């Protein structure tokens, strides 16, 4: 009679399943990477605890008993559940193996996400990204509520409990309608901004605040144009339509000016810009893997930037 206090071990059930599937002790032992004596001991302990003969062995063959056949699916289910449990635990201890919920602000996502998704699939094949695009304040709130694991935003985050890892810096570029007097210039002072009909993004976009900061640092009080946009794509289209000028980050230039006849101008040093970084909960205990992730992303973006420069220079583009 089976002892009700008996608790089968995983080793015993693995031995049973391997023997039942291979119908050979030597082959089963090789599969599990153990000696035949260890395999036999594991099976014997399981049979003794259950008080049931699970397999019949002879000099020529191994046969699963009727009782063993009845219990075999349950043993497989236990092993599969244990393996899944270990897999999830491994992914939890290493966030770069498994699902990672990554937030990105709208002025970053469309321009670096293709590079990130393509590159990470090769660098971190066990990583599965879940992407959330939203404004900074909402991303930080989701991060604090543990609804996100990390986010790419403009630094500093200036939020209690949020740690940050800088990844890359980029300049702001002035986007102008065709034929504008500043077109093609590379040393434009920021003090010209108050004299321009500056298009800003809607409230909540960090790029709006950064643009206004550029004006304040130049000692100028800007008068924004009446037109406001919910995205950089809309702002750029408005510039193409002659409704004003706008600032965009350098990573957005290739995408946003590809299908429009726009002019660009670059600011004089020190050029205004922003710093993009990875932010995460300081209490997550994941600084090391997130620094690794940030390093990989930074390298990919830097490589992409060099490729774009190599393509643009021969053509004489800005």
Sequence-ordered list of residues with C-beta below 8 angstroms from that of 287, at least 6 positions apart, any chain: 163
d(CA 142, CA 2): 51
- pTM given for the model: 0.69
Contact between 164 and 155 under an 8 Å Cβ cutoff? The reply is yes
* Strand pairing category for 273-281 and 150-155: antiparallel
Check for a shared fold between 10-89 and 93-161+274-309.
Answer: no
Domain ranges of the chain: 10-89, 93-161+274-309, 169-273
Q: What is the CATH number of domain 169-273?
A: 3.40.190.10
pLDDT at 162 over 50: yes
Q: In the beta sheet, which residues pair with residue 165? A: 278
Q: Bigger pLDDT: 154 or 84?
A: 154
pLDDT digits (tens, 9 = 90+) for 168-204: 999 999 999 988 999 999 999 988 888 888 888 887 7
Q: What is the CATH number of domain 10-89?
A: 1.10.10.10
pLDDT at 308 over 80: no
Nearest residue to 165 (alpha-carbon basis) of 51, 84, 50, 284: 284
Q: pLDDT grade, residue 268 (50/70/90)?
A: very high
CATH architecture observed for domain 93-161+274-309: 3-Layer(aba) Sandwich (3.40)
d(CA 148, CA 146): 5
pLDDT at 262 over 50: yes
The DSSP output letter for 230 is: S
């Amino acid at each position: 009679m089976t002892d009700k206090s008996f608790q089968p071990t995983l080793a015993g059930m693995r031995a049973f399943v391997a023997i039942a599937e291979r119908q050979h002790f030597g082959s089963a032992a090789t599969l599990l990477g153990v000696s035949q004596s260890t395999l036999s001991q594991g099976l014997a302990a399981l049979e003794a605890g259950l008080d049931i003969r699970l397999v019949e062995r002879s000099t020529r063959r191994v046969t699963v008993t009727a009782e063993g056949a009845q219990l075999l699916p349950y043993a497989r289910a236990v092993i599969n559940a244990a393996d899944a449990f270990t897999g999830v635990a491994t992914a939890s201890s290493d966030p770069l193996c498994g699902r990672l919920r990554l937030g990105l602000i709208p002025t970053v996502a469309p321009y670096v996400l293709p590079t990130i998704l393509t590159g990470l699939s090769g660098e971190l094949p066990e990583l599965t990204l879940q992407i959330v695009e939203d404004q900074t304040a909402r991303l930080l709130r989701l991060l604090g509520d543990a609804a996100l694991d990390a986010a790419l935003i403009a630094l500093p985050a200036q939020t209690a409990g949020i740690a940050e890892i800088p990844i890359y810096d980029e300049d702001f570029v002035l986007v102008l309608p065709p034929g504008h007097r500043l077109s093609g210039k590379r040393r434009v002072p920021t003090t010209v901004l108050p004299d321009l009909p500056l298009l800003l993004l809607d409230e909540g976009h960090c790029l709006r605040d950064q643009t206004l900061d550029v004006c304040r640092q130049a000692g100028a009080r800007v008068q924004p144009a009446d037109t406001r946009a919910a995205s950089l794509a809309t702002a750029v289209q408005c510039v193409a339509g002659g409704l004003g000028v706008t600032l965009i980050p350098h990573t957005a230039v290739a995408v946003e000016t590809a299908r429009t006849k726009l002019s660009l101008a670059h600011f004089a040093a020190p050029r205004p810009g922003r710093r993009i970084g990875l932010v995460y909960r300081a209490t997550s205990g994941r600084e090391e893997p997130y620094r690794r992730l940030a390093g990989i992303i930074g390298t990919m973006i830097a490589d992409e930037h060099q490729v774009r420069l190599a393509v643009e220079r021969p053509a004489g583009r800005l």
